[in-house]
Amino acid sequence: MNHDLITVPIRDFCKLSGISRTQTYRMLDRGLIDSVKIDDMRLIVIDSYHRLLERSRVPPKPNAAD
């Protein structure tokens, strides 16, 4: 059984990612990350954040000495 986090509340997502609450809601509004709503609680889908990181990855600059 996989015990990795699947979803987290927005408050915890902000703490884990270092992204502000305002920026998190902007990313949600733009469809950059996914969420689910259960009753009145909104949860961020961690897998969607990992996909965003992969899409946003900046390759390292080549070494000028090479």
pLDDT at residue number 65: 64
Q: How confident is the model at residue 1 (pLDDT cuts 50, 70, 90)?
A: very low
> Angle formed by the axes of helices 10-17 and 21-29, to 10°?
110
Span 16-59, pLDDT tens digits: 999 999 999 999 999 999 999 999 999 999 999 999 999 999 98
Taking the whole predicted model, whether its pTM rises above 0.85 is answered as no
Side chain identity, residue 28: L
Side chain identity, residue 57: R
Give 63 or 27, the one with higher predicted confidence. Answer: 27
Contacts (Cβ under 8 Å, ≥6 apart) of 32: 48, 52
Q: How confident is the model at residue 3 (pLDDT cuts 50, 70, 90)?
A: low
The encoded tokens of residue 64 equal 């000028």
How far CA 41 is from CA of 31, 44, 51, 61, 63, in Å, comes to: 18, 10, 23, 42, 47
